[in-house]
Amino acid sequence: AIVEHTFNVGNLSISQLCQTARIITAVNGQLPGPTIRAREGDTVVVHLVNHSPYNMTLHWHGVFQRGTPWADGPAMVTQCPVKPGANYTYRFNVKGQEGTLWWHAHISFLRATVYGALVIQPRSGANAYPFPSKPQREETIILGEWWNANVYDLERMAYLTGMPAAHADAYTINGKPGDFYNCSGANQTYKFQVHQNERILLRIINAALNTPMFFKVANHSFTVVGADAAYTTPYETDVVVIAPGQTVDALMVAGAAVGRYYVAASPYDSAIPRGPMISKTTGTAILEYVGSAGNQAPVLPPMPAYTDTHTAFRFFSNLTALILPGFPTVPLSVDHHMFVTIGLGVSDCQPDQFFCNKSTTVFSSSMNNASFVLPKSVSMLQAHYRNTPAGVYTRDFPDTPPVIFDYTADASDNATMQYTTKSTKVRTLKYNETMEMVLQNTRLIAKESHPMHLHGFNFFVLAQGFGNYDHATAVNKFNLVNPQERNTIAVPTGGWAVIRFVANNPGMWFMHCHFDAHMDLGLGMVFEVQDGPTAETSVPRPPADLPQC
Ligand code: C2O
């Protein structure tokens, strides 16, 4: 079937958090934007009409885009932006994927308000879920952040000064901050109703720009059945941990006493050292049982401390894949290995940044000390397609960091490692080659859990841990039986993760930290996957309406 939408991107006036009539950029006048519902194998067609004053692109986060790399959406990687007043039609299918994904703007910080859910049901409908007990209802829960400032200006200022952007003013659930912020009102809290003993499938998405979250519902617990649109072995927990870019499908039974309960999202602030973000408090929604008194005060769940790295690690490392016929399994042979450091540092400034002269350095982030810069004149996919990378990108992304050192030691010990170079480097893979990557967090400036997202693929998570990666001990812990599949991994704070994927999708695929503040500063790289032997395994002609720069 074809699922078709028109997304009019434009101004929306919102009054919340003591501000009246603040103008944001949104799709079809909604925050969050419309939910796309499809079944596995469907074709999705979205007509983007840009009425906003900003350049725009849309990304379908987690969709493989096999054979449709021109529809992936990251600005200057797979397409030039859609200019104000212009249109572009995204066309792709959702084959071989079931569960919860989402879509968002992929330019500037505009995804702060331009986002929504993309729900993929099994081909034969909800009854085909491979869960022990079928849900009677579904509820989409999108966690987000809210800024009182204009996010486009925020990004411009961060880029021009080479300084990280300010933190959000509130956490939101389905666009609303809830009861614990100044000027909260009844219309600023998201509410949903349940019947007693109803089985509900919560589709939880973290759309926040920069914050991993703990998610709880007072007096209720969950069975996790999926993550990043891949089924997991059912996993019982009373807390869900979810980094920006990730999704979690969790079954919840409304088995508590009839009443009202808070649904809560609080920050998991993995940055060490950094001051507490307690002032940012907790975003809440209300779960209301049919038949409860509307004025009854809801119960608040106790949330983990914002520094609770262990709760985060337990959740992330306990998930395994549900092995089902017809779904891919982990490749057992590997063609290429990469060891990639991810972290913060300083670098030379770009000519268009403020105060830029030869002796100026700016705050930056990098992978293997290469601080990624988007090209300006043409998208990388266009350059790849025409085989004219000169002046756009180079193929010398290093497989290992330039210096080996103690990644978890203090920044002062690692002055060399801290200095990064601005560049647009790609790693080239032949069609169908298998890549194994070790992602090692560094502790330069701050120790953090970077949520690393790969476009165009799911990868298998073989192992993860704290400290410096040591292959001899880690290899014994590799899960080669039922490793979880992800498109975004929260690499443990001051630790590492090992992932594997098969390059069976020709095109240019962005890999980056899903903290927008870090992506902007260069925490990214691109995989260039070469064409296969047939027309179906080659990058097709660009669509006629592909925007030009
Ligand atoms: Cu969810 Cu490159 O993005």
CA 258 to centroid of ligand 1, rounded, Å: 40
DSSP state letters, 468-479: S--HHHHGGG--
* Identity of the residue numbered 38: A
pLDDT for 58 equals: 98
Q: Which ipTM score applies to this complex? A: 0.99
Q: Which of 28-42, 65-79, 409-423 shows the lowest per-residue confidence on average (mean pLDDT)? A: 409-423
Q: Given the CA of residue 111, which atom of ligand 1 is nearest to it?
A: 1
Mean per-residue pLDDT for 94-110? 97
Q: Which residues contact 133 (CB under 8 A, 6 or more apart)?
A: 199, 251
pLDDT for 344 equals: 84
Give residue 277's pLDDT band: very low, low, confident or very high (50, 70, 90).
very low
Burial of 473 (0-12, 13-18, 19+ CB in 10 A): exposed
* Identity of the residue numbered 503: A
CA 64 to centroid of ligand 1, rounded, Å: 12
d(CA 481, CA 477): 11
Per-residue pLDDT of 292-318, as tens digits, reads 988 889 989 999 998 899 999 999 999
Mean per-residue pLDDT for 424-453? 92
Per-residue pLDDT of 466-489, as tens digits, reads 989 999 999 999 999 999 999 999
Residue nearest to atom 3 of ligand 1 (CA): 61
Per-residue pLDDT of 327-341, as tens digits, reads 889 999 999 999 999
Q: Given the CA of residue 245, which atom of ligand 1 is nearest to it?
A: 1
**Structural domains of the chain sorted by starting position, each given as residue range(s) with its CATH number in brackets:** 1-130 (2.60.40.420), 131-322 (2.60.40.420), 336-537 (2.60.40.420)
CA 519 to centroid of ligand 1, rounded, Å: 10
pLDDT for 278 equals: 46
- What distances in angstroms separate CA 544 from CA 32, 44, 67, 134, 382, one per listed residue? 30, 18, 16, 44, 13
Q: Given the CA of residue 510, which atom of ligand 1 is nearest to it?
A: 2
pLDDT for 250 equals: 98
State both tokens at 539. Answer: 């990058």
d(CA 443, CA 447): 4
Give residue 127's pLDDT band: very low, low, confident or very high (50, 70, 90).
confident
Lining ligand 1 with CB less than 6 A are: 59, 61, 74, 104, 106, 245, 453, 455, 510, 512, 514
User: Residue 445: pLDDT above 90?
Assistant: no
User: Residue 441: pLDDT above 50?
Assistant: yes
* Identity of the residue numbered 55: N
- Tell me which residue of 257, 276, 432, 421 sits closest to 346, measured CA to CA: 421
- H helix or E strand, kind and range, residue 518: helix 516-520
Per-residue pLDDT of 194-223, as tens digits, reads 999 999 999 999 999 999 999 999 999 999
Per-residue pLDDT of 375-398, as tens digits, reads 999 999 999 999 999 999 999 999
Give residue 164's pLDDT band: very low, low, confident or very high (50, 70, 90).
confident
pLDDT for 347 equals: 86
Mean per-residue pLDDT for 411-428? 77
Across the beta sheet with 190-194, what order do the strands follow?
190-194, 283-289, 260-267, 213-217, 240-242
| DSSP secondary structure code for residue 66 in this structure | T
Confirm if 405 and 414 have CB atoms less than 8 A apart. Answer: yes
d(CA 519, CA 488): 14
CA 195 to centroid of ligand 1, rounded, Å: 36
Q: Whole-structure pTM over 0.80, yes or no?
A: yes
Q: Given the CA of residue 102, which atom of ligand 1 is nearest to it?
A: 1
- What distances in angstroms separate CA 53 from CA 10, 109, 280, 384, one per listed residue? 8, 14, 30, 30
Count other C-beta atoms under 10 Å from residue 505's C-beta.
24
Q: Which residues contact 326 (CB under 8 A, 6 or more apart)?
A: none
CA 134 to centroid of ligand 1, rounded, Å: 31
Q: Given the CA of residue 74, which atom of ligand 1 is nearest to it?
A: 2
CA 514 to centroid of ligand 1, rounded, Å: 6
Mean per-residue pLDDT for 495-499? 96
- What distances in angstroms separate CA 197 from CA 251, 258, 414, one per listed residue? 12, 10, 56
H-state helical runs in 42-172: 151-161
CA 116 to centroid of ligand 1, rounded, Å: 13
CA 412 to centroid of ligand 1, rounded, Å: 32
Instruction: Calculate the average pLDDT of the chain.
Output: 93
Q: Which residues contact 351 (CB under 8 A, 6 or more apart)?
A: none
d(CA 71, CA 420): 31
Give residue 409's pLDDT band: very low, low, confident or very high (50, 70, 90).
low
CA 443 to centroid of ligand 1, rounded, Å: 24
Say how many residues make up the chain: 549
Residue nearest to atom 1 of ligand 1 (CA): 61
Confirm if 60 and 95 have CB atoms less than 8 A apart. Answer: no
CA 428 to centroid of ligand 1, rounded, Å: 20
Burial of 243 (0-12, 13-18, 19+ CB in 10 A): buried
Pairwise pLDDT comparison (164 vs 80), residue with the higher score: 80
Radius of gyration from C-alpha coordinates of the chain: 22
DSSP state letters, 364-415: EEEETTEEE---SSS-HHHHHHTT--TTT-BS---SS-SS---TTS-GGGGH
Mean per-residue pLDDT for 259-268? 95
User: Residue 279: pLDDT above 60?
Assistant: no
d(CA 160, CA 158): 6
* Identity of the residue numbered 253: V
User: Residue 35: pLDDT above 90?
Assistant: yes
Q: Which of 309-323, 361-375, 383-397, 442-456 shows the lowest per-residue confidence on average (mean pLDDT)? A: 442-456
Q: Given the CA of residue 244, which atom of ligand 1 is nearest to it?
A: 1
- H helix or E strand, kind and range, residue 315: helix 309-318
Provide φ and ψ at 197, rounded to 5°: 70, 10
Percent of the chain past pLDDT 70, that is, above it, reads: 95
Compute the C-alpha angle 156/151/80, nearest 5°.
60
